[in-house]
A = this chain, B = another copy of it.
């Protein structure tokens, strides 16, 4: 059984060895650049972990795992245009380094490459894999749209928020695992269980992200603490603060949200103080733990000895108690 680190290496090597097309360079240079500016390759590792769980050779799942990673990078590339983000992993984004047209078209090509990789999988499993992948891909687009819609809405409920992150972030983890399980020969019921594990882990992961943005250790977090607060991002924390705050406090939050000129540190401190008073961190952690438990419960139901699941449990633990 290969460790998570060994599987990560396998993915990195496969990505480097892969002969992606080269010309026209104006189309493919941005793709090569973007695929190699880093990232932990967590999602493709999930695919391999799932295949390994069902005792099938991980090598057969490498193209599908790379399809998952390529798809993920496609979404990042296009999201960066939509968010007008100048940086990704500390490096220039594609639309910034080249231009928007290049970023649109390279993103399109990256999505098509994902399907090419997927098509290299065992033909016997192809219809199932393709259906799983397509459903996920569509939901990720819907999640991105909802995320953009929420920017212009002051009335996002907790359940609407969870629905959005389920689509935008979590179904990709679920599908990465399910595709690995299909290729591993898992039964439909085990495929569903591992998907449920992935989706719930994904929601808990995103909630952890929301918490870290405010409560992360500045020395370990790697990003500016309070970035979401500065940008008025509708996180789980903000949505619940707006829901729970007495009207005077809610007014205070709105005041900060509407200021166009402000001292960022002051805004972060003020909103964090409100979160503290309302017990928002504890509430977010409780919700996160609820989804984490649902994830572990689904994994538990897969009828295999617990030691075989150790890698996946480790993976989820790392994701959910991380500090950056």
Contacts and interface: CB of A to CB of B under 8 A. Distances in A.
Interface of A: 21, 23-24, 26-27, 78, 81-82, 100-101, 104-105, 107-109, 111-113, 115-116, 119, 123, 126-127, 130-131, 134, 137-138, 141-142, 144-146, 148-149
Contact of A105 (B100, B113, B137, B145): B145
27 contacts: A24-B142, A24-B145, A27-B142, A78-B104, A78-B105, A78-B108, A81-B104, A100-B100, A101-B148, A105-B141, A105-B144, A108-B111, A108-B141, A109-B142, A111-B112, A112-B134, A112-B138, A112-B141, A115-B115, A115-B130, A115-B134, A115-B137, A119-B131, A123-B126, A123-B127, A126-B126, A126-B130
A127 B82 CA distance: 34
> Interface of chain A, helix or strand or loop or mixed?
helix
Contacts of A111: 108, 111-112
Contacts of A123: 126-127
Contacts of A115: 115, 130, 134, 137
Number of copies: 2
Given A123-B127, A130-B126, A149 B108 contact: no
Given A115-B130, A115-B137, A119-B134, 15 more contacts: A21-B138, A21-B142, A24-B142, A24-B146, A27-B141, A81-B101, A82-B101, A101-B148, A105-B144, A105-B148, A112-B141, A115-B115, A115-B134, A116-B134, A126-B126
Contacts of A107: 108
